[in-house]
A and B are shown apart, each in its own frame.
Chain A
Amino acid sequence: METTPRVEARGVGLRAGLVTAVFLVAAIAVGLAVGSVHIGLDSIFRSVFSHVPFLHVHRAAAFDQAVVWQLRAPRVALAALVGGMLAVAGASYQGVFRNPLCDPYLLGVAGGAGLGATLAIVYAAAATAGSSWTVPLAAFAGAIGAVVVTYALGRSVGAAHMTGALVLAGVTMATFTAAVQTFVQQQHTQQLQNVYAWLLGGFSTATWHDVAICAPYVAASALVLVLHRRVLDVLSLGDDEATSLGIDVGRARLAIVVAATLGTAAAVSVSGLIAFVGIIVPHTIRLLVSTSYRAVIPLSLVAGAGFLVLTDVVARTVLSPAELPIGVVTAFLGAPFFAIVLRTSRTAR
């Protein structure tokens, strides 16, 4: 009698899915509960759920309601959106370029956004004082502009060597935009602190307005990337084999890069530059769960959201009432954590 082998792609798996979801929910709860003002759990619960229609939960006291709903909740929501986006974009770039060191800033997004934001802070902020749109919009435009130039540059060598050329073009672009950005910043030293505050990233000024700017891009690009999770596994076989399996490799790669870049640009424009999330989160999933993109993509999205919410809690409590730049915290906590995961995991490789 023949045995029938169980032929299934592991995908996310029930246990990993549950653990990650619980992690995100717990992170959000901590994010809402922790702050310089003490607010009871009951008030937090009421503040949040009174906004859910048909539940008929009564609102908390006005002050508590304001702190939770106007200060903490948008901050948690924005950190979750940005964290999820950076992690899923990092995982996707690593898949498309088949290089584990790729991060979401690979194609010049960070440099472009930094330049755009600096120009806006230096030249436009005074002219449009009070408009919260200027800096994010300029950062977004700078990010997209830089990636378009990177892509055009990478493309010019022809399809056969495009992957490597794109990475090199990205490095070139990052160096160039950083040079211009530094030049502009040195010309306007009175704005230095504002520029640095933006570059180092953070959520201290987060509003529901920022969440509304960022959310549609993150939702659309995360959806595209999650739908491509199986295609990313096929791409891991290399261009030739993916092509011989019927995949239009050029088109698939373009769709994934465009989605990851748009989402990253939107995230960066509201949060500044937050390093390391796009590398640490996907690799932690790879080490603990699976290297298949069917697991890495969806789990990175959820775990990245929880990770950045928790990191933000640390950033705003450690030196309270002052705040640490969140990028410092991601690296300070992330590096040792990742070192531990790296040392203790035993996967076949």
Chain B
Amino acid sequence: MIEARDLWVRFGPVAAVRGLSFRAEAGGWTALIGPNGAGKTSALRALAGLAAYEGEVLHDGRDVRRLGRRAVARLVAYVPQKPETPPALTVAEYVLLGRTPHIPYLGGESRHDREAAGGALRRFELERFAERPLGSLSGGELQRAVLARALAQEAPVLLLDEPTTALDLGRQQLVLELVDALRSDGLTVVTTMHDLTLAGQYAERLILLDEGSVVAEGAAADVLSAPNVAAHYGANVRVVEDDAGVFVLPLRTR
């Protein structure tokens, strides 16, 4: 469980996040949505302890600021929108780096670390790729390797910044299904997402940010209304709702 209380992130005089408060329960999926520049990434970076913030981030009720960097890394795994993937590292080597918070600073991996990394590879169906260099993978395979590295960290909270950027529709679905499956192990998932339909399909709670502030919050049916999307994205959409979910479809303006 991870909780933000009155979270502010500032860049000089500009506040990118203004008083964000929410709580993500174990096994839940929360999606931060909003137009470009709304503060989604800044909020996620603050939750990961990568951006300076005011307010509080609590992990199971404990203030994250009182924990050391390694302790935080054992609790929160973070995947940026464009992760660095050194092309000549093998997938296995890369996923093993996810074990860093569990390995002494100048030490090496234990057998348990190798098993945990192996488990993460299996979970993302990457066994065949273990010995392949990252540079030889396709976009979808690479994103699975990145997620496997985050999973190998064995942190109960997974923060993903735009996990489906640059993937085709099929790969997007595959990646999101794999992330969804992790929730059954009690993993808390918080993602930023651009695709509103996919956000509504996978996350049970959406938080719509605009200019750093929360402007709508709740289930897909409550947040993804045509007026909301028009007001905050400046987009003309038709929202279709049936028993399979909420679908946000872009329409030409003329």
Contact residues of A with B, CB < 8 Å?
2-10, 227-228, 230-231, 233-234, 236-238, 240-241, 243-248, 286, 290-292, 347-349
How far apart are the CA atoms of A6 and B117 in the complex, in Å? 10
Interface residue from B83, B87, B95 paired with A237 (Cβ < 8 Å): B83
Determine if B122 and A241 form an interchain contact, defined as CB atoms under 8 angstroms apart.
no
Interface size (B, Cβ < 8 Å)? 50
B84 surroundings in chain A (CB, below 8 A)? 236-238, 241
In the complex formed, the residue of B with least CB distance to A233 is B97
8 A-B pairs with CB atoms under 8 Å apart are: A5-B130, A7-B121, A8-B96, A228-B106, A230-B106, A247-B69, A290-B88, A347-B133
A238 surroundings in chain B (CB, below 8 A)? 84
Determine if A7 and B69 form an interchain contact, defined as CB atoms under 8 angstroms apart.
no
How far apart are the CA atoms of A261 and B114 in the complex, in Å? 34
Q: Is B131 an interface residue (CB 8 A)?
A: yes
A347 surroundings in chain B (CB, below 8 A)? 88, 133
How far apart are the CA atoms of A347 and B86 in the complex, in Å? 12
Determine if A8 and B114 form an interchain contact, defined as CB atoms under 8 angstroms apart.
yes
How far apart are the CA atoms of A72 and B119 in the complex, in Å? 55
Interface residue from B90, B95, B103 paired with A10 (Cβ < 8 Å): B90
Determine if A7 and B83 form an interchain contact, defined as CB atoms under 8 angstroms apart.
no
Determine if A7 and B106 form an interchain contact, defined as CB atoms under 8 angstroms apart.
no
Complex interface bits, B71-96 against A, C-beta within 8 A gives 1, otherwise 0: 11110111010011011111011011
A237 surroundings in chain B (CB, below 8 A)? 83-84, 86, 97
B103 surroundings in chain A (CB, below 8 A)? 230
In the complex formed, the residue of A with least CB distance to B71 is A246
Contact A9 to B93, CB < 8 A, known contacts A244-B78, A246-B100, A348-B133: yes
Interface residue from A2, A4, A6, A227 paired with B131 (Cβ < 8 Å): A6
How far apart are the CA atoms of A119 and B15 in the complex, in Å? 53
Contact A291 to B105, CB < 8 A, known contacts A5-B127, A7-B96, A240-B50: no
Determine if A244 and B76 form an interchain contact, defined as CB atoms under 8 angstroms apart.
yes
Determine if B86 and A291 form an interchain contact, defined as CB atoms under 8 angstroms apart.
yes
Determine if B100 and A245 form an interchain contact, defined as CB atoms under 8 angstroms apart.
yes
Most buried by B among A5, A231, A241, A291: A5
Determine if A244 and B89 form an interchain contact, defined as CB atoms under 8 angstroms apart.
no
Q: Is B101 an interface residue (CB 8 A)?
A: yes
In the complex formed, the residue of A with least CB distance to B113 is A7
Determine if A236 and B86 form an interchain contact, defined as CB atoms under 8 angstroms apart.
yes
Determine if A246 and B101 form an interchain contact, defined as CB atoms under 8 angstroms apart.
yes
How far apart are the CA atoms of A143 and B120 in the complex, in Å? 47
